[in-house]
Amino acid sequence: MSMNPFDLQAPIAGIKKIILVGSGKGGVGKSTVAANLALAMKQSGQKVGLLDADIHGPSIPRMFGALYQKPSFVKSETGKARMQPLVRHGLFLMSIGFIVEESQAVIWRGPMLFKALDQFLHDVDWGELDYLVVDLPPGTGDVALTMAQRVPVAGAVIVCTPQNLALVDARKAVDMFQQVHVPILGVIENMSYLTLPGTNGSPSQRVQLFPRGELNSFLDQSKIPKLGEIAFDPHIGLSSEAGIPIVASEPDGAISQQFSDIAENVIRATTTE
C-alpha cells in the first residue's frame, strides 16, 4: 500500500492553530503583512507566534530589530535542549535568519530543509499559542508543501497587489493550497492605493499606484473572501527598516486599523462556534 504523505501530519503540542501566509511572488509585501497581521492578532488578545520560514530572504529579524540575534537553548525535563523564541512586542518569534546568515538559507534543499522545518515546529519552545503565523517563501515551493503535509493547517492567507500581473501568480498560490487541501481564508490586497499626505484619505483622493485589475471578480467567482486592503504608506517601509513594524510603532494609526480589521476577519474565519 502506498503511503499518503498527509499520513505524516501531526499536531504540535501547545499550538492551537497554524496560519500560512503565502504569495504568488516576491515583493508584494508578504513578510510585512505577516508580521503586522501577527501583531494585530496579538493586540486583539490572542497568544501569537511568528515563524519566518522564508528561506529565500528571511526578513523577520530585520523587521523586528533582531538581526544577529541568536536564540538560546534551554534543557527541558527530558534533557532535550529546546530553542527559545525571541519575544518582541509580546510576539514569539523564530526565524531561519536567527540560525543562519541572511544570505545562506537559500541553499537549503530537500532533506536539510525538511529537517530545519521540523525543528522549527517541534524543537522550539513555543509554549501555549492560539496562533502560529508562518511567513512562507514566495511562490509555490517545498516549504508550503512540507508544512501542509506535516502539520494540520487552519488556513492560508494569500498576499497580493491589485494589478493583473500580480493576479496571475496569486492564482497559482490559490491552486497550490487547494491541491494540498489547505483551506484558503482569503486574500489580503496590499499596496491597494496611495493616500496623498495632506488629503483626508477619502476614496476620491486616492492614487491608484498599481492599476486595479480583475482580482475582485476572480475572488467573487472563486468564492474566496477578500480579508482586507492595506494602503501603500511610506511609514510601513520606514517602520520595518527601523525594526518596529507599524502596528507596534503607530498602533492608533489608519494602517494599524486596517490590520486590526484583517486580524478580526482571520480570527473569525478560523473560529467555529
Tell me if 192 sits within 8 A of 229, measured CB to CB: yes
Name which of 16 and 89 has its Cβ closer to ligand ADP: 89
State which of residues 43, 59, 256, 258 lies at the interface with ligand ADP (CB under 6 A).
59
Tell me if 66 sits within 8 A of 98, measured CB to CB: yes
Q: What are the angstrom distances between the C-alpha of 22 and each of 125, 184, 215, 220? A: 24, 11, 16, 20
Window 210-249: contact mask with ligand ADP (x via CB under 6 A)? --------------------x-xx--xx--x---------
Window 109-128: contact mask with ligand ADP (x via CB under 6 A)? --------------------
| Three cell numbers, residue 40 | 494585530
Name which of 33 and 266 has its Cβ closer to ligand ADP: 33
Distance separating alpha carbons of residues 142 and 149, to the nearest angstrom = 10
Is 195 among the residues that bind ligand ADP (CB under 6 A)? no
Is 161 among the residues that bind ligand ADP (CB under 6 A)? no
Tell me if 36 sits within 8 A of 259, measured CB to CB: yes
The distance of Cα 143 from the centroid of its chain, to the nearest Å, equals 13
Window 20-49: contact mask with ligand ADP (x via CB under 6 A)? ---x--xxxxxxx-----------------
User: Residue 60's closest CA among 19, 18, 26, 88?
Assistant: 88
Enumerate binding residues for ligand ADP (CB under 6 A): 23, 26-32, 59, 138, 190-191, 230, 232-233, 236-237, 240
